[in-house]
Structure 1
Amino acid sequence: MTLPPGIRLLAALLAVAVTFLGAPPAGAEPGEQATPAEPALASSPTLRLLELGASTPDLALYGQQGTATLTIPVPAGMDPASLNVTVGLPVYVRSASITVSQDERVLATVEVPPGPAGPLVIPLAGARVRENAVTVQLRSYLLPLDGYCLDPTNPLRLTEIGVTFAGTERPPTVVADFLPPVLRKLIFYVRPEPTWAEADAVVNLAAAIAARYGDQNPAIEVAGLPGPGAVPPAPAAPFERHIVISERDDTGVSLLPGAGGVPALLVSGPRNELINQTRLLTSGTLYFALSSAAVAGPLHRSAQLPANTTTIRQLGQPGVNASALNPMVGVALDQTRLGRSVKSVRVHLIGSYTPLPGDIGGQVVVALAGETLARWPAEPGGVIDRWVDVPDRLLKRYMNLTVQVGISGNTGRCGEFQPVTLMIDGESVVTSTPAAPPIPEGFQSLPQALMPKTQIGIESSSRGDIDRAIGVVVGLQRLSALPLDPQVVDTADAVASALPAVVIAPGDWTFEEIPLPLRAPDTVPTTINVTDSTGESTTLTLDPALRFGALEVVYQRGRTVLVATSNGAPAELDRLLDWLAADERRWSNLDGRALLSVPGRDPVLVPEIAVPVAAAGPTMPTWAWTLTGVLAGAALVGAAVLLLRRRAAGD
């Protein structure tokens, strides 16, 4: 890849801050060189589209000539060989074919077999790999049965998409190539009793890796080393990486010599320098670390402070458009991209649509969550220039504002009428103000209510607490379009802080200054309303002897706190976090204020509880009065039963 002059100049300037002179890895003896790693053992694997970071596992090709673009990350030393799909034809189609091309060069054309959905192999031989990725265009051509029209809402669907690669993954030989385009698993190795600096470095790097790989959702774990200076016991598997985090005098990032396979990476440094070395792995400076060892100069992470006014282009949409008889586009309003919890959202829609003929009527409709926010008749000039207010009651973490041009009149047979093109410009303005408390509250306020910086409170720097912190932070990061900025501190410091916090308290919750929505009763059973994994409402009775783990969201003293705790059952909290990690959709689907896990069943959600804004001085929130009433009611029932029994005995 040829670098522009500006980048080459930047590389020269960075040489002052980043040293990579082929020095031996930190901890190696002078003169010792890293042993060249042997190739990884896997070859010709097939990876699902979701494992490659696609936001959806399926592709839909609409119309008689449908198109879709697919970008595939490619590991070093490998080439994409084929797409393996299950193809489903629309109804009333006589024949269909799919053509795959790259840069106007046809790679392959395959005929779709008639009949029900079935497997299809689409060759990708000859596709050129650029910067560890391949981008191809898929085009479908459909021929309907005589006398039938194609339904524009019923596409040709490609599902269960997998990519088969040819070749063997090539192990990295320089620091710049350590992180692969495709990562399925990352293991951090730390000493038996990690230091606080090591805990902070591991959690920070885990969040940064989760942000870098996005929808690939690699598994991230923590494992132990037998002692300082030790190396991982086995080489990494294909599409897997091992990173050793060590607080020590030697500073730098280096590939560790190994007996074969993919070498591990050592990140080391003294307490005040270790976190800076981890930042090298997810900074632009990494691309210039072209040797087996590097020492990063100061790499600062600047907090991304949100603004009251932005554009949809700055929110990740350079513009949206669609062409159809009744075209519709979606404008994404993502609170994690706004970088905070917001209210009073307004959108200034700027765009256009194809002017309609005089004999065709039409209207523009703007809606959110199925509710119409604005509508107006189609105008002769086809210009859109309207402010639309979003009610606070409709605010969620993710919102999709839809804009549709609906037409009416005689459009001819089989869509002979010229399709309408609708465009919304990327300069459409979005305004908002900070919301305190967040809107909505509970899990839907996360992670935006924890931005721009959050503290991660752990009771000790043990591997168990680090692993739990990673489980929560990585889950939150995968919800966010912006990177989180966590800082590991002692639990007591996080509780006393004014910053947003995630607090890991696996054994019990002893901080009465932060009352939780759900607490374990000490003497009497408590019945609460919950929602099971299918979304159905039910009840759950908490007996004093029942042990559970929980994630609970609290808004307290002007900040949001997420607490991971249990009533003396750390293993149940771990089971809850493992359940969340097993399906990437579970974090996103959380709602309400608490997630509860009890032995023998899937975790359940405690629905949203209305909590008023606290007045000056200590007050008892609604949930506390509710639980107090439940407990009092249970006590009264118990007393009544006891009295009746005594009377019966007296009779």
Structure 2
Amino acid sequence: MHPLSRSILARVLLSAMLVLLPAVGAGLLMATAHAQPPPPDQPSLTLPWQELGLSSEIFLDPDHPSSFTMPVPTGLTAVRLSGTIAAPLNIDAGTLVITGNGNLLAAIDLPPGATSRPATPLDVDLSAAGGGGSSVDLTFDIRPRFDPQYCGPRRQLVLNNLATVFTGIEVAPTTIANFFPTVLQRATIFTPTDADADEQQAVLLLVSTLARLYQNQPMVISVVNQPRGATPPPADQLARTILVEKGGTAGLKVENRDTPEVFLRVSGSGGELSTQVSLLANQLQALAQVDTVRVEQAESPAAAPSGDTMTFRQLNIEGQTDVIWTSSLSVGVDRASLGSDRVDGVQVHLLADYTPVARDDAASVVIRSGGVVVYRAALDNTGLLDATFDLDSEKIGQFVDLDIALTYTPRETCGALIAPLTFQVDPRSTLTVHRGGPPLHGFGAAPSEFSPSFMVAMDGTGPNQLAYVARLVASMARSSSKPLSPQVVDLNTAAAASTGALIVANAEALKETALDPPISGDGTTVEVGVPTEVRVDIAGGLGSIQAFADQPRNRSVILVTTTAAWTLVDPLFSYLGGLNDDLSALKGDVLFAGAAGEPTNLAIRTTGDASDTAESPQSLSRSIAIGAAVAVVAVIAMAAAVLWSRRRRTSRGSAD
């Protein structure tokens, strides 16, 4: 080729590359969507979506874009979204489009599920979403290729391990309104070591309030004793410090505002302390855009719907889904939302609208509650479902859950004329509750048996009793949609009352009451009902958390106790911490440990739940191991011995 021709060709190719490279480069950046690392002087913080109050795993389908509001702490900027893309399910190929505040953030190619890797890293630059706001609205949309009309099995894409990277430093609060941020990792409440009942009452009301306000976040609430008059230490980023101490003018005050040493002071005398906390309990703190506020009168939280019949609209129950072949829908409400009186049964009158089913098509609905089928029917051309069925206490547990499975088989083959069946729950549906029944036994009694209010008593024999109570109050408040109000009283009042009670007292103090817990005793002497009472000597004593039905007083009780030192209880709360302080994760009615500090969770008395029956001789025998001196093994061995002895006496009687 002539040198001049080669020169012209080179210039032409260079011009073409200059035109094409920006577009190609943009496409590559859009697909990989990598964020630039933050500048060296900008500290970064990575928060899993769970800590933002969102699920760390989301399920996407091509027919419905999914939107999420991601909170952004004040002073921080969201710069990157990370996670993992699982292999697409029944998606031949397509694009995952992610937008933030309406701006395109990424368009990621999805290879066919059969050829894609099991997991692909997700890394999306969030800068195009814009900064400075208190949240970012993210939308995920799957756009399949080559199949505008799809009638096959359900298509799905799963994103998991989602987390957001933030840069910046959180701004210290300056007012009551902005003291508690949208994202909070820890709240530490300081109170005097010699706190009186009014101070304890305010602390526990604050614990219950914060646990409910942040129930979608794994926020840690701690109660710490300190000398009266001391100033609490500063909190870390995304943490807050509160001081509850009587004295001075009643009110809430942001001390050391706009500094790292900032904390919230709750002050006043007597019941004024709890009155100040009511501003938070009623979620009115946004009105207090000042650093000091005084609440003159506490307003009672909104009550649950009155009466025994409640509509789905009143209970905020709603649901809708589209069906081709199969689909499912779950709706429900927690037991505490059904009123303060005990519920031992529910009648459901379920109304729903759906696309009328053509004569040659077929559709059906199956409804389960607690894993048991409670209703089934074919869907017809009326487009209306009117179903009535009953749920007993065993089916509802702490939640009234309705799992609705739908099928729809159209006569048409897949094509442009086919359309999904739409099924929507009518808000005029009702729940009619039947009041009454015996008190619930075991850890499954919380929180409904303690809603809306319950008594709290501490005998004062241990230094960390208020911290123990706070952990349990927070656990119950997180699992209740309604506010819980703990009421601090003395031990004798709580033991003799007919309302739910949370009691922290040693075994010696409990002997002066009429309470009959599954495990009792004093010192090294431990008494266990399995089901008859037996007594055994255990060196070092036993610490326990127990939940039981107090039948004579028609209520449920949670008891934290020890037959010896209070240090025996500490391993139990460490064990509970491993369960995210979730009481509902415990089975049976007792969590206990001996001097070896080995927590064991079992059922001493039957609860009426098949999964929480009392230990059988066989299962107890299997639990016995070498080292019978350990308290845990001693108790289990003791129970087995008693039951075996009773069986032997029965066998001898039959032989005679």
Superposition TM-score, scaled by structure 2 size: 0.78
Instruction: Quote the Cα distance in structure 2 between the aligned partners of 1:318 and 1:375.
Output: 20
The CA deviation at 1:50 is 1.0
| CA offsets 1:232-286 (integer angstroms, 9 cap, x no match) | 13x2100000001111032221122279415111111111311111222343432
2:89/2:157 contact within 8 Å kept: no
Matches within 5 A, 1:473-512: 473-506=473-506, 509-512=510-513
Residue in structure 2 matched with residue 209 of structure 1 by the alignment: 210
The CA deviation at 1:582 is 3.1
Instruction: Quote the Cα distance in structure 2 between the aligned partners of 1:374 and 1:363.
Output: 11
Instruction: Quote the Cα distance in structure 2 between the aligned partners of 1:118 and 1:102.
Output: 21
**Mean Cα displacement is larger for which, 354-363 or 599-608?**
599-608
1:583 aligns with one of 573, 576, 579: 579
The CA deviation at 1:180 is 0.8
Residue in structure 2 matched with residue 394 of structure 1 by the alignment: 395
1:241/1:262 contact within 8 Å kept: no
Residue in structure 2 matched with residue 573 of structure 1 by the alignment: 569
Residue in structure 1 matched with residue 282 of structure 2 by the alignment: 283
2:323/2:406 contact within 8 Å kept: no
Instruction: Quote the Cα distance in structure 2 between the aligned partners of 1:57 and 1:596.
Output: 33
Q: Secondary structure at the match of 1:314?
A: coil
Instruction: Quote the Cα distance in structure 2 between the aligned partners of 1:125 and 1:142.
Output: 26
Instruction: Quote the Cα distance in structure 1 between the aligned partners of 2:536 and 2:416.
Output: 60
The structure-2 alpha-carbon separation of the partners of 1:604 and 1:416, relative to structure 1 and needing over 3 Å to count, comes to farther
Residue in structure 1 matched with residue 548 of structure 2 by the alignment: 553
1:195/1:461 contact within 8 Å kept: no
Instruction: Quote the Cα distance in structure 2 between the aligned partners of 1:524 and 1:207.
Output: 33
Task: Give the structure with higher Rg (CA).
Answer: 2
Query: How many residues are matched?
Result: 571
> Is structure 2 residue 116 aligned with structure 1 residue 119?
no
Residue in structure 2 matched with residue 646 of structure 1 by the alignment: none
Instruction: Quote the Cα distance in structure 2 between the aligned partners of 1:297 and 1:237.
Output: 32
| CA offsets 1:351-385 (integer angstroms, 9 cap, x no match) | 11112222222222222233221222222122112
Gaps of at least 5 residues in structure 2 are 1-40, 621-634, 650-656
The CA deviation at 1:471 is 1.0
Matches within 5 A, 1:451-470: 451-460=451-460, 464-470=464-470
Of structures 1 and 2, the one scoring higher in RCO (CA 8 A, sep 6+) is 1
2:526/2:563 contact within 8 Å kept: no
2:568/2:597 contact within 8 Å kept: no
The CA deviation at 1:188 is 1.0
Matches within 5 A, 1:31-50: 43-50=43-50
Residue in structure 2 matched with residue 603 of structure 1 by the alignment: 600
Residue in structure 2 matched with residue 243 of structure 1 by the alignment: 242
> Is structure 2 residue 447 aligned with structure 1 residue 443?
no
Instruction: Quote the Cα distance in structure 2 between the aligned partners of 1:351 and 1:637.
Output: 55
Residue in structure 1 matched with residue 172 of structure 2 by the alignment: 171
Instruction: Quote the Cα distance in structure 1 between the aligned partners of 2:480 and 2:461.
Output: 26
2:103/2:129 contact within 8 Å kept: no
Tell me which amino acid in the other structure corresponds to 1:257. N
Instruction: Quote the Cα distance in structure 2 between the aligned partners of 1:334 and 1:380.
Output: 34
> Is structure 2 residue 74 aligned with structure 1 residue 76?
yes
1:460/1:490 contact within 8 Å kept: no
Tell me which amino acid in the other structure corresponds to 2:573. L
Residue in structure 2 matched with residue 346 of structure 1 by the alignment: 347
The structure-2 alpha-carbon separation of the partners of 1:395 and 1:175, relative to structure 1 and needing over 3 Å to count, comes to closer
1:339/1:482 contact within 8 Å kept: no
Instruction: Quote the Cα distance in structure 2 between the aligned partners of 1:550 and 1:510.
Output: 17
The CA deviation at 1:629 is 9.4
**Mean Cα displacement is larger for which, 513-522 or 79-88?**
513-522
| CA offsets 1:551-604 (integer angstroms, 9 cap, x no match) | 222233122211121222422322212321333374232332223334353431
Tell me which amino acid in the other structure corresponds to 1:593. D
Instruction: Quote the Cα distance in structure 2 between the aligned partners of 1:608 and 1:151.
Output: 51
The structure-2 alpha-carbon separation of the partners of 1:343 and 1:481, relative to structure 1 and needing over 3 Å to count, comes to same
Residue in structure 2 matched with residue 471 of structure 1 by the alignment: 471
Residue in structure 2 matched with residue 90 of structure 1 by the alignment: 88
Superposition TM-score, scaled by structure 1 size: 0.79
> Is structure 2 residue 538 aligned with structure 1 residue 544?
yes
Q: Secondary structure at the match of 1:176?
A: coil
| CA offsets 1:415-460 (integer angstroms, 9 cap, x no match) | 984221111122211110223314x532222111111211111113
Q: Secondary structure at the match of 1:280?
A: helix
Residue in structure 1 matched with residue 57 of structure 2 by the alignment: 58
Tell me which amino acid in the other structure corresponds to 1:328. S
Residue in structure 2 matched with residue 6 of structure 1 by the alignment: none
Residue in structure 1 matched with residue 28 of structure 2 by the alignment: none
